Amino acid sequence: MSGMDFVTVMVLAFAIFLALAGIFTAWFGNGKSRIAGAVMIVIGAVVGVLWALLCGAFNVMDPVIDVNVADVFINALINFAGVVVGALVAIGIFLVVVLKS
């Protein structure tokens, strides 16, 4: 994984989780919280789409950033799924050992 792959994963994760946090804030908030949630959704969407377009679709940053956004995103999701499965197996083993003792 190159440095720009790391930056791409970081920026896309920021955009996705900011948008998700904005959705929850807008859904469950009141008054100003809903407005802040809407702003978070817009910022997350703009950052994610802008980064994907600059790196992927138009290759505007091609001399600086040589990243295939789709491949990086899919690899990040696969790695994340591996981490979650490994953590759940470890927690399961831990619970079995604790409950059996």
Q: How far apart are the first and last CA of the chain?
A: 42
Residue 53 to residue 62: CA distance in whole angstroms: 11
What is the phi/psi pair of residue 62, to 5°?
-55, -40
Q: Render pLDDT for 31-68 as a digit per residue (tens, 0 to 9).
A: 889 999 999 999 999 998 888 887 766 666 555 566 77
Lowest mean pLDDT among 6-10, 47-51, 90-94: 6-10
pLDDT at site 10: 86
Confidence of residue 8 (pLDDT cuts 50, 70, 90): confident
User: Residue 9 burial by CB count (10 A; 0-12/13-18/19+): exposed, middle or buried?
Assistant: buried
Q: Could you tell me if 18 and 40 are in contact, meaning their C-beta atoms sit under 8 angstroms apart?
A: yes
pLDDT at site 2: 65
pTM (2 d.p.): 0.69
